[in-house]
A and B are shown apart, each in its own frame.
Chain A
Amino acid sequence: MRGDTSVEFEGNIPIYIQIMDMIKRDIITKKIKEGDKLPSVREMADNLKVNPNTIQRVYQELEREGVTFTQRGMGTFITKDKKVILSLKSEMAKEVIISFIDGIESLGFNEEEIIDTIADYMKRREK
């Protein structure tokens, strides 16, 4: 997957959650495909420059959420269940929307104005 050496993490969010989000994002954007094998814990820790225990936790949590499955002696694979991947997508969309709404509300926009502004913006972008 990522071979770049300098992945920056936000300090204030647990690192394992940031790595989980990164992997989920890569699944949604099809950088990683259904049924793909994830790098080993070692490789991943090396690539991202984090503690292998953190990656271990990432893989455990992803499996718990049904995003991945483990095959004994083979490694960790991305689920082939399309439903899971769709729900990842809507979950991430929700997060984007929430942070957008938080941002625009703090500028003093109300619901109507938000919808108008988006509709207006989308219309102009089409042209």
Chain B
Amino acid sequence: MDTILKATDLRKNYLKKRALNGVNIELKKGKILGLLGPNGSGKTTFIKIAAGILRSTSGELLIDGQAPGVYTKSIVSYLPDVNYLFKWMRIKDAVDFFNDFYSDFSVEKSKSLLEFMKLNEDDKITSLSKGMLEKLNLALVLSREAKLYIFDEPLGGVDPATRDIIIDAIIKNCNEDTSMIITTHLVRDIERLFDDVAFIFDGEIIIKGDAEELRTKSGKSIDELFREAYQNV
């Protein structure tokens, strides 16, 4: 089967507020999807459902053919947009923590990623800058041999040099067996990574397609299309 994720008429309500309003997305194996939208558009809600943290109100979401649950959690590696490591930890404790938690965690991979990110095992979590913390979280998430990686705002609040390192690490880790979903509102810096893009607004997908085709058809960059789309709604 070559579809890794498929959402059909996916809906999520928080009491009266509609966070997702019938989302349809399909992601093929080995592809990178950019899920783009302004704050509060439903990106994180969608991703949390895919990561198995939230339940949808209705509709269907299948990952590798299965509904979110134990199996999908074992093949999805998720980078949340908030830090969830404990304050008492040093970097090596965080590595152990991940290693205990996930059977697909590769200590070897984590070592080379930490080195690549120029992070020191003995540093305390509380001593890390925002950019270093982001790099650490990404290194941990990428150290799993997952089928689907989900990154929620991996570039949020980091400086351009760190941004380049993060993008680099993501590229080094993609191959034909792994798929990725990346959410961001900083489209320019990362658009060259995307195979497919989906623009989400108010819980609905308003534009989606192959990134290169969208560029050819419109004569515009994904970033320009993104800005236009949200000016007009």
Contact = CB atoms under 8 A, between A and B. Distances in A.
B174 A11 contact: no
B103 interface: no
B202 interface: no
B35 to A, nearest CB: 15
A53 B33 CA distance: 12
Given A14-B215, A54-B192, A49 B221 contact: no
Nearest to A47: B171
B17 interface: no
A2 B174 CA distance: 21
Contacts of B219: 12
A11 B32 contact: no
Interface residues of B, number: 26
Contacts of A13: 215
Given A13-B215, A16-B212, A50 B193 contact: yes
Contacts of B195: 51, 53-54
Given A9-B192, A52-B175, A53-B31, A15 B164 contact: no
Contacts, number: 56
Interface in B129-174: 164, 167-168, 171-172, 174
Interface in B178-201: 188, 191-195
A46 B31 contact: no
B22 interface: no
Contacts of A11: 188, 191, 215, 220-224
Nearest to B180: A51
A14 B192 CA distance: 9
A5 interface: yes
> Closest 3 interchain pairs by CB?
A11-B221, A14-B212, A50-B192
Interface of B: 30-32, 164, 167-168, 171-172, 174-175, 188, 191-195, 212, 215-216, 218-224
Given A11-B191, A11-B221, A11-B222, 4 more contacts: A11-B188, A46-B172, A51-B171, A51-B193
Interface of A: 5-6, 9-16, 45-46, 49-54, 57
7 contacts: A9-B192, A11-B188, A11-B221, A15-B192, A15-B212, A46-B172, A53-B30
